[in-house]
Structures are given as C-alpha cells and as structure tokens.
Amino acid sequence: MSELTDLYAEVAQCQRCDLSKSRKLTVPGEGPATAALMFVGEAPGYHENQQGRPFVGAAGRFLEELLASIHLTREQVYIANVIKCRPPGNRDPQTDEIEACRPYLDRQIELINPRMVVTLGRFSMAYFLGKQSISRIHGQPHPLDDRIIYPIFHPAAALHQPKYRAAIEQDFLQIPQLLQIEPAEPPAPAPQQLSLF
Ligand code: URA
C-alpha cells in the first residue's frame, strides 16, 4: 500500500473529533499522488458524506466547469478539504475540528508535494495564510514553503452570486501561467506610521 492509501485507511477510522459520530463516510480526498495542482475546499457536504468523495455535488460540478475552462479534468488534479467529515447541517467547521484534522491535510500536502495549492473559500485560505480578507486577497499568489498558495472564492459561494462568480472565473484563468512562473515576492510591509498621539 502507498503512504497515501495508508493515510486514507487511517482517516476512515478517525475518531479525533465528534464529527466522527455523525458522519456516514470520511472524505479524505482524491487525485494523482504526484499532482502538481491541489485544490483544498472546506468540508464535505451532504453528497460527499454519502459517497466518500470530495466535490461531487453542485459545487463540484461548477469546479469541473472551472477546470474545463483551463483545459483540465478533475482526474488530473488532487482535491481535498480542510476537514474530512461533514459538519451536521453543513455548518461552518469549528476551530477544534480543523485542528484535530490538521495532521491529515498536512501529511497529504507533504506526500503529494504539489507546486500550487488553490484554496477554495475562507476556511481553506485561513488554514494556509492566517487571518485575511478573502475579498481582498483572492487571486493573489502567495509563496509558502516552496509552493504557491492561491486563494480564490469557494465555488459554492460563487455559483449563485454573480460578483463572486466573475471573480472565481477570472482567478481560475490565471492558474496555468502561475503554475509555470514563479510568483513575485510579496511586497515589503509598508513602513509603520509613527504617531505621537
Ligand atoms: N464543499 C467543500 O468545501 N468541499 C466539498 O467536498 C464539497 C463542497
């Protein structure tokens, strides 16, 4: 068995948090073990929990359309989530759940070693980049640990909201060139304003 398959087996038995009590199936992620491009969503929803696969509902179909816009299929990329079990009623993941699940995603990234991680939505963005505003930083590549972290809106949010939809479509179109070109160094922080008051 490969290390990735071992990891899937471990996730399937996981009881690190209470989501293990309400889940039907764990959703570890899927895709080629050597994918250069990895997508990280938030958490499994209803359909993912039923099927044990990431992004198989409406958001997944939109993700596949977005991939097609850059001539890729879902089989060519790795798709995972920050947490591997569905939160009841699709509520937001809690901090303790994200922390309990952290070793799994960290290990996946280590094993797959993607060139670029596209974060889908604010929870995934925060996982890699800390507290930021996704409206401000979406579509901006961030170098981290020898890879590019590329935050974009979540396809589920973008699906029905024209403003986010236009943004995610545009941000997607930058992916091919970002995969080939080194992103620029982030700008140096602005000098602190000194104030006497
Ligand atoms: N939304 C996510 O963030 N992940 C999925 O797998 C499905 C929907």
Six-digit token pair at 106? Answer: 């960290």
Mean pLDDT, rounded, for 134-146: 97
Closest Cα to atom 7 of ligand 1: 55
d(CA 59, CA 154): 8
The confidence band for 182, taking pLDDT boundaries of 50, 70 and 90, is: very low
pLDDT at 190 over 80: no
CA of 41 to the centre of ligand 1 (A): 5
The confidence band for 165, taking pLDDT boundaries of 50, 70 and 90, is: very high
Domain boundaries, the chain: 7-86+93-179
Determine the atom of ligand 1 nearest the C-alpha atom of 154. 3
Please work out whether the CB of residue 19 comes within 6 Å of at least one atom of ligand 1: no
Q: What's the pLDDT score for residue 122? A: 98
Q: Which of 25, 71, 104 minimizes the C-alpha distance to 175?
A: 71
7-86+93-179 CATH, one of 3.90.180.10, 3.40.470.10, 3.40.50.620, 3.30.479.30: 3.40.470.10
Q: What's the pLDDT score for residue 192? A: 54
The confidence band for 197, taking pLDDT boundaries of 50, 70 and 90, is: very low
Please work out whether the CB of residue 26 comes within 6 Å of at least one atom of ligand 1: no
Q: What's the pLDDT score for residue 196? A: 42
Please work out whether the CB of residue 30 comes within 6 Å of at least one atom of ligand 1: no
Q: What's the pLDDT score for residue 183? A: 40
CA of 164 to the centre of ligand 1 (A): 17
pTM of the complete model? 0.91
The confidence band for 194, taking pLDDT boundaries of 50, 70 and 90, is: very low
Mean pLDDT, rounded, for 85-93: 97
